[in-house]
């Protein structure tokens, strides 16, 4: 079945970096992108960014674009999200989610469907 | 402050019908699809309503979505105790080039 399996919980100090993985299975990896969504304690959902294995295109949330990098490894069907210069308000559960967008060449259209498959979530705790 | 506006809470008794609203603007709901997510305690969010009104496979027909202009809503009929959780609306925002979410509505089944 279609599945996204994320790496385990992370603890990091302010100013450090963290890298979370999301391994896809059960579908053709290159045909869907992956979005990352986070939820801080007691808060709502916040979109972090998106990447597609199809052409490497990415699209990051404005408030995080200076600190986040997403990459893909097509040999292992895995997507990575690295967040740098961590702050205490980055403490959150980070989810990866499958999200399709139509891409032609280097250009991708805005999404027309929601995120239909989600990983189990990875708790990232930033504390000194 | 979320770009999309939802009521923070909603409630109903078993069997009742409950509606949760979501208000946005022309750059998001007014020009793009709205999607709804159900987030139950201890689980990952689940796509509940896709593209304004479509139910993904496996979602009971007790759940329905609608949209008019820059507002959308999800209705839950025949309320059940297992529906208790948080509900989020989301839409693509053309100006921000971002997904935007509502702040979430906590549904309580009394």
Sign of the CA dihedral running B105, B27, B29, A104: negative
With bands split at pLDDT 50, 70 and 90, how would you rate the model's confidence at A102? confident
Q: Which residues of B touch A35 (CB under 8 A)?
A: 99
What are the tens digits of pLDDT across the range A34-80?
999 999 999 999 999 999 998 889 999 999 999 999 999 999 999 99
Q: Is A95 on the interface with B (CB under 8 A)?
A: yes
Cα–Cα dist A22/A12, whole Å:
19
- Tell me how far the alpha carbon of residue B65 is from its chain's centroid: 8
Hey, of A32, A42, A43, A44, which one would you mutate to test binding to chain B, going by the most B CBs within 10 A of its CB?
A: A44
Q: Which residues of B touch A118 (CB under 8 A)?
A: 44-46
What are the tens digits of pLDDT across the range B36-64?
999 998 899 999 999 999 999 999 999 99
Q: Which residues of A touch B33 (CB under 8 A)?
A: 112-114
């Amino acid at each position: 079945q279609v599945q996204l399996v994320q790496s385990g919980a992370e603890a990091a100090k302010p100013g450090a970096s963290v890298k979370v993985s999301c391994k896809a299975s059960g579908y053709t990896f290159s045909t869907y992108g992956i979005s990352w969504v986070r939820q801080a304690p007691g808060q709502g959902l916040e979109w972090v960014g998106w990447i597609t294995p199809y052409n490497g295109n990415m699209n990051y949330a404005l408030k995080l674009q200076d600190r986040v990098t997403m990459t893909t490894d097509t040999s292992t069907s895995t997507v990575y999200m690295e967040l740098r210069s961590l702050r205490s308000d980055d403490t959150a559960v980070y989810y990866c989610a499958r999200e399709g967008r139509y891409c032609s060449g280097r250009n991708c259209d805005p999404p027309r469907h929601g995120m239909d498959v989600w990983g189990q979530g990875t708790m990232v705790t930033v504390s000194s | 402050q979320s770009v999309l506006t939802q009521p923070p809470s909603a409630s109903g008794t078993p069997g009742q019908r409950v509606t949760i609203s979501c208000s946005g603007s022309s750059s998001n709901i007014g020009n793009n699809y709205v999607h709804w997510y159900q987030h139950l305690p201890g689980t990952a969010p689940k796509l509940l309503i896709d593209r304004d009104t479509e139910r993904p496979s496996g979602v009971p027909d007790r759940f329905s979505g609608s949209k008019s202009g820059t507002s959308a809503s999800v209705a839950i009929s025949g309320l059940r105790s297992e529906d208790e959780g948080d509900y989020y609306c989301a839409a693509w925002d053309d100006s921000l080039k971002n997904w935007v979410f509502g702040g979430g509505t906590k549904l309580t089944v009394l």
